[in-house]
Structure 1
Amino acid sequence: MAAKGALGGLLATGAMSVLMLAGSRAGLMEDQPPKRIARAAMAGDRHSPKRGERVVGMFAHAGFGAASGAVYAVCCRGRPTPALPALAYALGIWFVSYEGWVPKLGILPPISGDRPGRPAVMAVGHIVYGLVLARFLNRLNRAQGGSG
Protein backbone atom coordinates (compact mmCIF):
# COMPACT_ATOMS: atom_id res chain seq x y z
CA MET A 1 0.00 0.00 0.00
CA ALA A 2 2.76 2.45 0.87
CA ALA A 3 4.48 1.92 -2.49
CA LYS A 4 1.22 2.58 -4.35
CA GLY A 5 0.72 5.73 -2.32
CA ALA A 6 4.28 6.90 -2.91
CA LEU A 7 3.83 6.46 -6.65
CA GLY A 8 0.48 8.27 -6.50
CA GLY A 9 2.01 11.02 -4.38
CA LEU A 10 4.82 11.46 -6.90
CA LEU A 11 2.34 11.71 -9.78
CA ALA A 12 0.16 14.11 -7.79
CA THR A 13 3.20 16.25 -6.95
CA GLY A 14 4.01 16.44 -10.65
CA ALA A 15 0.50 17.68 -11.44
CA MET A 16 0.68 20.15 -8.58
CA SER A 17 4.08 21.40 -9.77
CA VAL A 18 2.70 22.15 -13.24
CA LEU A 19 0.05 24.34 -11.63
CA MET A 20 2.69 26.04 -9.44
CA LEU A 21 4.83 26.83 -12.49
CA ALA A 22 1.78 28.27 -14.25
CA GLY A 23 1.12 30.42 -11.17
CA SER A 24 4.70 31.69 -11.27
CA ARG A 25 4.51 32.47 -14.97
CA ALA A 26 1.24 34.33 -14.40
CA GLY A 27 3.03 36.51 -11.83
CA LEU A 28 1.07 35.16 -8.86
CA MET A 29 4.14 33.78 -7.07
CA GLU A 30 7.49 35.48 -6.64
CA ASP A 31 9.26 32.11 -6.63
CA GLN A 32 8.57 28.50 -5.75
CA PRO A 33 8.17 27.52 -2.07
CA PRO A 34 10.14 24.26 -2.50
CA LYS A 35 13.10 26.30 -3.75
CA ARG A 36 12.82 28.66 -0.79
CA ILE A 37 12.65 25.73 1.63
CA ALA A 38 15.73 24.13 0.02
CA ARG A 39 17.57 27.48 0.18
CA ALA A 40 16.90 27.71 3.92
CA ALA A 41 18.05 24.12 4.49
CA MET A 42 21.30 24.47 2.54
CA ALA A 43 24.53 25.74 4.11
CA GLY A 44 24.99 29.50 4.33
CA ASP A 45 22.60 32.38 4.85
CA ARG A 46 19.07 30.97 4.75
CA HIS A 47 17.79 33.82 2.57
CA SER A 48 20.65 34.10 0.04
CA PRO A 49 20.22 32.28 -3.30
CA LYS A 50 22.41 29.19 -3.58
CA ARG A 51 23.73 27.13 -6.44
CA GLY A 52 21.55 24.05 -6.94
CA GLU A 53 18.66 25.19 -4.76
CA ARG A 54 16.15 24.72 -7.56
CA VAL A 55 17.16 21.09 -8.14
CA VAL A 56 17.35 20.36 -4.39
CA GLY A 57 13.90 21.93 -3.98
CA MET A 58 12.49 19.88 -6.83
CA PHE A 59 13.77 16.60 -5.37
CA ALA A 60 12.69 17.54 -1.84
CA HIS A 61 9.20 18.44 -3.09
CA ALA A 62 8.94 15.13 -4.96
CA GLY A 63 10.10 13.23 -1.88
CA PHE A 64 7.70 15.03 0.44
CA GLY A 65 4.84 14.41 -2.01
CA ALA A 66 5.72 10.72 -2.34
CA ALA A 67 5.99 10.29 1.43
CA SER A 68 2.66 12.08 1.95
CA GLY A 69 1.04 9.84 -0.66
CA ALA A 70 2.42 6.75 1.08
CA VAL A 71 0.99 7.86 4.43
CA TYR A 72 -2.40 8.53 2.85
CA ALA A 73 -2.49 5.14 1.12
CA VAL A 74 -1.60 3.30 4.32
CA CYS A 75 -4.40 5.15 6.13
CA CYS A 76 -6.86 4.15 3.39
CA ARG A 77 -5.81 0.46 3.58
CA GLY A 78 -6.76 -0.22 -0.03
CA ARG A 79 -10.33 1.00 0.42
CA PRO A 80 -11.95 3.43 -2.02
CA THR A 81 -10.87 6.96 -1.33
CA PRO A 82 -13.57 9.56 -2.05
CA ALA A 83 -12.43 12.99 -3.20
CA LEU A 84 -13.47 14.84 -0.03
CA PRO A 85 -11.12 13.06 2.42
CA ALA A 86 -8.26 13.33 -0.09
CA LEU A 87 -8.94 17.06 -0.46
CA ALA A 88 -9.05 17.50 3.31
CA TYR A 89 -5.75 15.63 3.64
CA ALA A 90 -4.04 17.70 0.95
CA LEU A 91 -5.37 21.01 2.28
CA GLY A 92 -4.31 19.91 5.76
CA ILE A 93 -0.75 19.45 4.48
CA TRP A 94 -0.90 22.94 2.95
CA PHE A 95 -2.26 24.54 6.11
CA VAL A 96 0.11 22.81 8.54
CA SER A 97 3.07 23.66 6.30
CA TYR A 98 2.26 27.24 5.34
CA GLU A 99 0.68 28.34 8.62
CA GLY A 100 2.97 26.17 10.72
CA TRP A 101 6.51 24.96 10.22
CA VAL A 102 7.44 27.01 7.11
CA PRO A 103 6.80 30.42 8.74
CA LYS A 104 8.09 29.21 12.12
CA LEU A 105 11.43 28.51 10.43
CA GLY A 106 11.35 31.98 8.85
CA ILE A 107 11.24 30.64 5.28
CA LEU A 108 8.01 32.28 4.08
CA PRO A 109 5.36 34.38 5.79
CA PRO A 110 2.22 32.60 7.02
CA ILE A 111 -0.75 32.37 4.68
CA SER A 112 -2.42 35.33 6.33
CA GLY A 113 0.65 37.56 5.81
CA ASP A 114 1.77 36.43 2.36
CA ARG A 115 1.23 38.08 -1.01
CA PRO A 116 -2.29 37.25 -2.24
CA GLY A 117 -1.16 35.17 -5.22
CA ARG A 118 1.05 32.57 -3.57
CA PRO A 119 -1.47 31.22 -1.01
CA ALA A 120 -4.15 30.95 -3.71
CA VAL A 121 -1.84 29.06 -6.08
CA MET A 122 -0.59 26.81 -3.30
CA ALA A 123 -4.13 26.03 -2.06
CA VAL A 124 -5.28 25.12 -5.57
CA GLY A 125 -2.07 23.14 -6.07
CA HIS A 126 -2.82 21.09 -2.98
CA ILE A 127 -6.40 20.53 -4.18
CA VAL A 128 -4.94 19.17 -7.43
CA TYR A 129 -2.58 16.98 -5.38
CA GLY A 130 -5.47 15.49 -3.37
CA LEU A 131 -7.66 14.83 -6.40
CA VAL A 132 -4.87 13.23 -8.43
CA LEU A 133 -3.75 11.09 -5.47
CA ALA A 134 -7.28 9.80 -4.81
CA ARG A 135 -7.95 9.10 -8.47
CA PHE A 136 -4.65 7.27 -8.92
CA LEU A 137 -5.14 5.10 -5.83
CA ASN A 138 -8.72 4.25 -6.78
CA ARG A 139 -7.75 3.29 -10.34
CA LEU A 140 -4.75 1.27 -9.21
CA ASN A 141 -6.80 -0.58 -6.60
CA ARG A 142 -9.52 -1.38 -9.19
CA ALA A 143 -6.94 -2.54 -11.73
CA GLN A 144 -5.39 -4.87 -9.15
CA GLY A 145 -8.76 -6.27 -8.08
CA GLY A 146 -8.99 -4.25 -4.88
CA SER A 147 -12.08 -2.54 -3.56
CA GLY A 148 -10.87 0.92 -4.70
Structure 2
Amino acid sequence: MKPLDRIVLGAIAGFAATLPMTMAMRGLHARLPRTERYPLPPREISEDLPRPGMSAATAALLYHFLYGGAAGGLYALLVRRRDVVNGSAYGVAVWLASYLGWIPAASILRFGTEHPARRNGLMIVAHLVWGSALALGLEELAGARTESFSRSTSPRSALKDRTEFSR
Protein backbone atom coordinates (compact mmCIF):
# COMPACT_ATOMS: atom_id res chain seq x y z
CA MET A 1 0.00 0.00 0.00
CA LYS A 2 1.28 3.47 -0.83
CA PRO A 3 2.30 5.66 2.13
CA LEU A 4 -0.40 8.25 1.37
CA ASP A 5 -3.03 5.49 1.27
CA ARG A 6 -1.87 4.33 4.72
CA ILE A 7 -1.95 7.88 6.10
CA VAL A 8 -5.47 8.52 4.78
CA LEU A 9 -6.83 5.25 6.14
CA GLY A 10 -5.11 5.90 9.47
CA ALA A 11 -6.54 9.42 9.63
CA ILE A 12 -10.04 8.12 8.98
CA ALA A 13 -9.61 5.38 11.59
CA GLY A 14 -8.12 7.83 14.11
CA PHE A 15 -10.93 10.32 13.57
CA ALA A 16 -13.52 7.55 14.00
CA ALA A 17 -11.72 6.10 17.05
CA THR A 18 -12.09 9.45 18.76
CA LEU A 19 -15.83 8.82 19.16
CA PRO A 20 -15.54 5.78 21.49
CA MET A 21 -12.69 7.61 23.23
CA THR A 22 -14.95 10.61 23.80
CA MET A 23 -17.72 8.34 25.07
CA ALA A 24 -15.28 6.78 27.56
CA MET A 25 -14.05 10.21 28.63
CA ARG A 26 -17.59 11.45 29.19
CA GLY A 27 -18.61 8.39 31.19
CA LEU A 28 -15.49 8.41 33.36
CA HIS A 29 -15.60 12.20 33.82
CA ALA A 30 -19.08 11.86 35.35
CA ARG A 31 -17.64 9.46 37.95
CA LEU A 32 -14.94 11.84 39.15
CA PRO A 33 -15.38 13.68 42.44
CA ARG A 34 -17.02 17.08 41.88
CA THR A 35 -13.76 18.90 42.58
CA GLU A 36 -12.10 17.06 39.67
CA ARG A 37 -14.90 17.50 37.12
CA TYR A 38 -13.50 20.64 35.53
CA PRO A 39 -13.27 20.55 31.71
CA LEU A 40 -11.16 17.78 30.23
CA PRO A 41 -7.88 18.47 28.42
CA PRO A 42 -9.30 18.83 24.90
CA ARG A 43 -11.27 21.85 26.11
CA GLU A 44 -8.34 23.24 28.09
CA ILE A 45 -5.93 22.77 25.17
CA SER A 46 -8.22 24.34 22.58
CA GLU A 47 -9.28 27.28 24.72
CA ASP A 48 -7.11 29.81 22.85
CA LEU A 49 -7.43 28.29 19.37
CA PRO A 50 -9.59 29.93 16.69
CA ARG A 51 -13.26 28.99 16.71
CA PRO A 52 -15.03 31.06 14.07
CA GLY A 53 -18.76 30.83 14.61
CA MET A 54 -18.48 27.94 17.10
CA SER A 55 -18.87 27.67 20.82
CA ALA A 56 -15.73 26.78 22.78
CA ALA A 57 -17.17 23.32 23.53
CA THR A 58 -17.87 22.56 19.84
CA ALA A 59 -14.42 23.81 18.84
CA ALA A 60 -12.87 21.57 21.52
CA LEU A 61 -14.65 18.55 20.04
CA LEU A 62 -13.59 19.49 16.52
CA TYR A 63 -9.93 19.91 17.48
CA HIS A 64 -10.06 16.70 19.54
CA PHE A 65 -11.31 14.71 16.53
CA LEU A 66 -8.83 16.35 14.15
CA TYR A 67 -5.96 15.52 16.51
CA GLY A 68 -7.22 11.93 16.72
CA GLY A 69 -7.24 11.78 12.94
CA ALA A 70 -3.72 13.21 12.64
CA ALA A 71 -2.38 10.79 15.26
CA GLY A 72 -4.13 7.94 13.47
CA GLY A 73 -2.45 8.87 10.19
CA LEU A 74 0.92 8.84 11.92
CA TYR A 75 0.17 5.42 13.46
CA ALA A 76 -0.68 3.94 10.07
CA LEU A 77 2.53 5.32 8.60
CA LEU A 78 4.92 4.34 11.41
CA VAL A 79 3.59 1.14 12.97
CA ARG A 80 4.04 -1.98 10.86
CA ARG A 81 2.24 -4.55 13.03
CA ARG A 82 -1.14 -2.92 13.51
CA ASP A 83 -3.18 -4.92 16.03
CA VAL A 84 -5.10 -4.13 19.21
CA VAL A 85 -2.05 -4.61 21.45
CA ASN A 86 0.09 -2.22 19.40
CA GLY A 87 -2.85 0.15 18.94
CA SER A 88 -3.39 0.28 22.71
CA ALA A 89 0.32 0.84 23.30
CA TYR A 90 0.29 3.59 20.69
CA GLY A 91 -2.67 5.21 22.45
CA VAL A 92 -0.70 5.31 25.71
CA ALA A 93 2.35 6.62 23.81
CA VAL A 94 0.21 9.46 22.43
CA TRP A 95 -0.89 10.28 25.99
CA LEU A 96 2.72 10.23 27.22
CA ALA A 97 4.05 12.32 24.33
CA SER A 98 1.20 14.80 24.73
CA TYR A 99 0.67 15.18 28.47
CA LEU A 100 4.26 14.61 29.58
CA GLY A 101 5.83 16.07 26.44
CA TRP A 102 4.81 18.71 23.92
CA ILE A 103 1.73 20.13 25.71
CA PRO A 104 3.55 21.16 28.90
CA ALA A 105 6.68 22.06 26.88
CA ALA A 106 4.53 24.51 24.91
CA SER A 107 3.12 25.90 28.21
CA ILE A 108 -0.42 24.87 27.23
CA LEU A 109 -1.10 22.71 30.32
CA ARG A 110 0.83 21.57 33.37
CA PHE A 111 2.59 18.20 33.18
CA GLY A 112 0.22 15.27 33.50
CA THR A 113 1.86 14.30 36.78
CA GLU A 114 0.59 17.57 38.28
CA HIS A 115 -3.06 16.67 37.63
CA PRO A 116 -5.13 14.48 39.97
CA ALA A 117 -4.38 10.75 39.61
CA ARG A 118 -8.01 9.93 38.79
CA ARG A 119 -8.02 12.39 35.90
CA ASN A 120 -4.78 10.91 34.60
CA GLY A 121 -6.31 7.45 34.93
CA LEU A 122 -9.35 8.63 32.99
CA MET A 123 -7.15 10.00 30.19
CA ILE A 124 -4.97 6.87 30.04
CA VAL A 125 -8.04 4.60 29.82
CA ALA A 126 -9.50 6.89 27.13
CA HIS A 127 -6.26 6.62 25.14
CA LEU A 128 -6.32 2.83 25.49
CA VAL A 129 -9.86 2.86 24.09
CA TRP A 130 -8.77 5.17 21.27
CA GLY A 131 -5.74 3.05 20.38
CA SER A 132 -7.76 -0.15 20.36
CA ALA A 133 -10.50 1.39 18.23
CA LEU A 134 -7.84 2.87 15.93
CA ALA A 135 -6.24 -0.52 15.30
CA LEU A 136 -9.58 -2.26 14.75
CA GLY A 137 -10.86 0.53 12.51
CA LEU A 138 -7.69 0.59 10.45
CA GLU A 139 -7.88 -3.17 9.97
CA GLU A 140 -11.48 -2.85 8.82
CA LEU A 141 -10.69 0.01 6.45
CA ALA A 142 -7.75 -1.91 4.96
CA GLY A 143 -10.07 -4.87 4.36
CA ALA A 144 -12.72 -2.65 2.80
CA ARG A 145 -10.07 -1.09 0.58
CA THR A 146 -8.86 -4.41 -0.79
CA GLU A 147 -12.13 -6.37 -0.77
CA SER A 148 -15.03 -3.96 -1.25
CA PHE A 149 -13.59 -0.87 -2.88
CA SER A 150 -10.87 -2.28 -5.12
CA ARG A 151 -12.81 -2.87 -8.34
CA SER A 152 -14.29 -0.32 -10.64
CA THR A 153 -17.94 0.24 -9.84
CA SER A 154 -19.05 1.60 -13.19
CA PRO A 155 -22.24 -0.03 -14.48
CA ARG A 156 -20.38 -1.34 -17.52
CA SER A 157 -17.69 -3.11 -15.48
CA ALA A 158 -20.29 -4.43 -13.02
CA LEU A 159 -22.26 -5.91 -15.91
CA LYS A 160 -19.06 -7.40 -17.34
CA ASP A 161 -18.14 -8.89 -13.92
CA ARG A 162 -21.60 -10.49 -13.56
CA THR A 163 -21.49 -11.85 -17.12
CA GLU A 164 -18.05 -13.36 -16.61
CA PHE A 165 -19.13 -14.81 -13.27
CA SER A 166 -22.15 -16.60 -14.76
CA ARG A 167 -20.08 -18.33 -17.50
- Is 1:112 the equivalent of 2:113? yes
Residues 38-57 of structure 1: matches in 2 within 5 Å?
A: 38-41=46-49, 52-57=55-60
Percent of residue pairs bearing the same amino acid type: 28
What's the secondary structure of 2:47's corresponding residue?
A: helix
Structure 2's unaligned 5+ residue stretches are 1-5, 148-167
Q: Deviations over 1:37-66 (max 9, x none)?
A: 1114459xxxxxxx8221211111111101
Q: Please report the RMSD computed on the Cα atoms of aligned residues, expressed in angstroms.
A: 2.2
Q: Where does residue 46 of structure 1 map in the other structure?
A: none
Structure 1's unaligned 5+ residue stretches are 44-50
| Contact 1:5-1:69 within 8 A present in 2 as well | yes
Q: Where does residue 47 of structure 1 map in the other structure?
A: none
What's the secondary structure of 2:146's corresponding residue?
A: coil
TM-score normalised to structure 1 length = 0.81
| Contact 1:40-1:107 within 8 A present in 2 as well | no
Change beyond 3 A, Cα 1:116–1:80: closer
Q: Where does residue 70 of structure 1 map in the other structure?
A: 73
Q: CA deviation at 1:107?
A: 3.4
Q: Where does residue 44 of structure 2 map in the other structure?
A: 36
Q: CA deviation at 1:109?
A: 2.4
| Contact 1:80-1:138 within 8 A present in 2 as well | no
Bigger radius of gyration, 1 or 2? 2
Q: Point out the more displaced range, 79-88 or 13-22.
A: 79-88
Q: Which runs of 4+ in 1 moved over 4 A?
A: none
In the alignment of these two chains, the number of paired residues is: 137
TM-score normalised to structure 2 length = 0.72
